Structure 1
Amino acid sequence: MTMSKGMVSGRPVTPGRQIAVVIPARNEVDRLPRCLAALAAADGALQRSGAAGIATRVVVVLDRSTDGSRELLADWPAVEVVESDHGRVGAARAAGVRHVLRGNQNAPRWIACTDADSAVPADWLITQLTHAAAGVDLLLGLVAPDPAELDRRLLRTWRSVHLLEDGHPHIHGANLGISADMYRRVGGFRDVALHEDVLLVTAVRSIGGRVVSTASSPVLTSARMLGRTPAGMAGYLDDLSRAARARHPGVRGSATRAWLRALFAADVPGR
C-alpha cells in the first residue's frame, strides 16, 4: 500500500514483504501532519529504490488523546489507528506492535518506531530495511532536535554532549527498528511510563542479539521543553538547558562538555 494523504491505492503484498512503523501519540494533532508527511516521503523513496514492492504499514496509537487527532487521521486512510487508554508510552508502543503482528500469515518482519512529534528523513525506511536485510536484530538511530524550536546555544550544547557517529551509545524510541522475531523473543516493549526503549535494548543485548547503532538517517524531533513523558526528550532538554545555564563552578570549555556528558550519561540512559 502506498502511503499518502487522501485516496490510497493498494495492491496484494507477499507475506513478509512489509515494514511496519509504530507511532504512539497523545494529543499531537498539531504535529502529526508533519510526522505523516515525512513518512509518506520516505515511503515514496522506498518505492523508487531497489526495495520497490515492500509495503509500508503505518500504525498510530492514540493513547488517551482528547484532541482532534482521530479526525485528522481520517484524511490518511492508509494509516491504521489503534486506541489505547494505558497512558504509558511503553504500553502504547506495545499495543501498536501487537496490532501489526496479529496473524503470522502476513505479518511484517521488521518493525520501525518513531514518535508523533518527529519527522523521519526521506531515506529512513531504506536505512531500516538495509540493516534488516544484513541480519541486524535491533537498529538504534539518532535524533536531532528541531533547530526552529531550540535556542542556538542550547543546540550547540546538545551536539557537544552527544556522539553523532556510527557506534554511538544513544537510544531513542523516535528512531529505532527491530526484527519481529527478536521482538517476540524478548517479550516486546514493557508496560512502563518511561525508558521502554532502553529496557527493550537491554533485553535484546542480554540474549546476544545483534544490535547496531547508526548515524545514518537521523530523525528530526521536537525540541519542546514540556512533553508527554517527564523523563523523555522534553524533560532531558529542559535539564540540559538548566545545567548549561548553571554550569559547574569553575568549569569552562571542553571541561564543561565533559562534565555535561558525565552528568547526562548517568541520569538519562541512552539519551
Structure 2
Amino acid sequence: MDALTVVIPARNEVLALPACLEALHASFQLAGPHADVILRAIVVLDSCTDGSDTVVRAATQAWHQAGRAALESITVMAGGVGLARAIGNARALALHAGAGHEPDTLWLASTDADTIVPGHWISTHLSAARAGEDALVGTVEPDATLPLHDRALWLERHHLVEDHPHVHGANLGVRASAYLAVGGYRALTLHEDADLVGRLRAAPGVRVRATDAHRVVTSSRLEARASGGFATYLKNLTRGVS
C-alpha cells in the first residue's frame, strides 16, 4: 500500500471540524508502523457559508508544520454527500495517478466532519489493506450528549460486533481499484455509503470486512444536514418512531 487518503465531506461544520481534524491528525501521527505510506486528508467543503473553510485553512498550516500527513480542501457546490465524497475521491485518485502509482496501492477512507476517530483508526485501515481486504466497514456510536434512555434504544438496534450488518460513511474504507471497478460513489443525497458497499459485496472476488475494531464517535445532534440521514434517524429514535 503506497498511500491512504481520508475524504471528509463538510457542509457548515465550523463547530465540529476542529475536533474532527484534531482526532484525525492524531491518528495519522500514531500510524508509525506504516511510515512508508503517503498520508493525506481532503475536506470537501460543500456549499459552506459558516467559515468552515477558515477552520480547514488553519488546520492545514498546523498539519504542514507537524509533518507526516497533508491536509487540503476543495470547495464545491455538490448539494449532496454522495457527490461530495465522489469529488474528494476523484481528487485523491488524480494525485495518486499523478505520482505514478496504480489504483490498487491507494486506500480511500471516509469519515464525517461531525465524527471523532480513535487513535488506531488509520493503522486499522492500513493493516486491513495490507492483509488483502478490499473494503473495511466500521461501526459508529452516538456521542455522550445522547440521553441514556435513547442510547439504550440505539444499542438495542445496533450490533457493534465483528461481521455487523451496518454501513456508515463516517467509518468506511475501500481499495481504490475496487472502488473504481464498481463505479464509485453515486450522486445520492442519502445512503450513498450503503449503495457503494452493496455493489462491492456483489462484485466477484472483492473482499469486504465488517468490523467493530475501530469504532468512531459521531454527533448526536438532531438537526439534520440532510433529511433522512443519521440525525433524522436519531430524532425518530428519541420520538419512538420506528
Taking structure 2 as the reference length, the TM-score comes to: 0.90
| Shift in Å, 1:138 | 1.1
Amino acid at match of 1:180: A
Shift of 1:139: 0.8
| 1:71 lines up with 2:68 in the alignment | no
Give the residue type in structure 2 aligned to 1:200.
L
CA distance in 2, matches of 1:170, 1:40: 26
Question: Structure 1, residues 171-224: CA drift from partner, whole Å, max 9, x if none?
Answer: 000000000000110111000100000110111112132111001110010001
Structure 1, unpaired ranges of 5+? 1-15, 245-262, 264-271
Name the aligned partner's letter for residue 158 of structure 1: W
Q: Secondary structure at the match of 2:240?
A: helix
- Spell out, residue by residue over 1:65-116, the C-alpha distance to the aligned partner (whole angstroms, 9 max, x if none): 0111111111122321111101110000000000010151146610100000
User: Within 5 Å, which residues of 2 pair with 1:199-238?
Assistant: 199-208=195-204, 209-238=206-235
| Distance of 1:52 and 1:96 partners within structure 2 | 24
Which of these two proteins has the greater Rg computed from alpha carbons?
1
How far is the alpha carbon of 1:17 from its aligned partner? 2.1
* Equivalent residue in structure 1 for 2:17, among 27, 32, 52: 32
Indicate the SS of the match to 1:203: helix
**Paired position in structure 2 for 1:86:** 78
One-letter amino acid of the structure 2 residue matched with residue 76 of structure 1: A
1:248-263 equivalences in 2 (<5 Å):
263=242
Q: Which residue of 2 aligns with 1:197?
A: 193
Distance 1:72 1:113 in 2: 19
Q: How far apart in 2 are the matches of 1:210 and 1:240? A: 33
1:42 to 27, 34, 39: 27
Query: How does the TM-score come out when normalised to structure 1?
Result: 0.81
Q: Distance in 2 between matches of 1:73 and 1:202?
A: 32
Identity %: 42
**For 2:107, which of 100, 105, 110 is the aligned residue?**
110
Aligned mates of 1:154, 1:165 — CA distance in 2? 20
Query: 2-side partners of 1:190 and 1:84: how far apart?
Result: 16
Residue 152 of structure 1: CA displacement?
0.9
Q: For residue 176 of structure 1, what is the aligned residue in structure 2?
A: 172
**Deviation of residue 53 (structure 1)?**
2.7
Secondary structure, counterpart of 1:80 in structure 2: strand
- Equivalent residue for 1:95, pick from 87, 92, 95: 87
RMSD: 1.3
Task: Report runs of 4+ in structure 1 exceeding 4 Å deviation.
Answer: none
Structure 1 equivalent of residue 37 of structure 2:
54
Distance 1:56 1:221 in 2: 23
Distance 1:164 1:72 in 2: 32
